[in-house]
Amino acid sequence: MATDVVVDTPRHSSNTKEAEHSQGNGVHGKPAVHYFSKHDTIKLASHNFLLWNHQLLLILEGYGLERFVLGTTPSAPQFVIGPHGQQLENQDFLVHRKQDKFLASWLLSTVTDDILAHLTTAKTSFDLWTAIERRFSVKSTIKVSSMRQALYSLKKSNLSVREYVSKVKQLSDNLTAAGSFISEQEQVSVILARLLVEFESIRVLASATPLSLNLLNELLLDCESHQLESLIEAPCQGNLATRQQDNDDGLKRSAESTRYSQDSKQGYRG
């Protein structure tokens, strides 16, 4: 969603155009507070920290404000000494604090109520970011590792092609939602790696020609369909052969019986 950036300065300029177009340190080189309207971000929950982290960092980097949450921008001293030796409020400090409060408020708007309850003691954007990372980063990393292991150890075995491909897609989607992107080609590689020998021809084709996920799915379904047809035809052909053999054996026994009967009659007459 497009956002509007409004830049505020210590003198609180009422010139909107001047404020919106100011760059760097603000209007006439003075420090500025950057405000932006609400973004359509996901809400941080227990299952999507990595995706939330990635999305918000991109937004903050777009405005050059990531240094606040990462703690790489030191705050200016609260007071400075004036030209006559008097103590004055430092405008750089006021702008820094104002910017930080805005970012902290915005961060809180991107988390669910359950998580919000654990962040009540955080007062700065850096405190909030750090508290969230401590709470979720290790758990998310372990979860992603577990899902990746499940993806790469998945075997077709007795699954149908439709079930097998669906499981690969589901695990890939879950990993992407957790912030660990799985490309289409990676999904294709996973599917090919665990196919049974009956699909070897498709694996050979894929080694020579890159296949899209949709095309691979169609080829696998077509191959599976032919295999099922072969399984159905084989018993039928076997049954026909057995019946033909039984019929031949029956005719043979009938002929032998007739010949035996004729031989018996001739012996009796003699």
What residue spans of the chain are helical by DSSP H?
A: 16-21, 49-62, 66-70, 91-108, 113-116, 125-152, 161-177, 184-193, 200-208, 213-269
Domain ranges in the chain? 38-138, 154-246
Residues 211-255: pLDDT tens digits? Answer: 999 999 999 999 999 888 887 754 444 444 555 565 556 556 665
DSSP 75: P
Element (H, E) at 5: strand 5-8
Q: Which of 84-88, 119-123, 248-252, 258-262 has the highest mean pLDDT?
A: 119-123
Report residue 1's pLDDT band, with 50, 70 and 90 as the boundaries.
Answer: very low
pLDDT digits (tens, 9 = 90+) for 2-28: 444 444 544 333 333 333 333 344 445
201 against 245, higher pLDDT? 201
Nearest 5°: the CA angle 138, 168, 229 is 165
CA 56 – CA 195 distance, rounded (Å): 39
Residues 6+ apart with CB under 8 A from 212: 184, 188
Task: Report the C-alpha gap between 169 and 173 in whole angstroms.
Answer: 6
What pLDDT was estimated at residue 262?
Answer: 58
Instruction: Give the range among 108-122, 125-139, 217-231, 232-246 with minimum mean pLDDT.
Output: 232-246
DSSP letter at 26 equals S
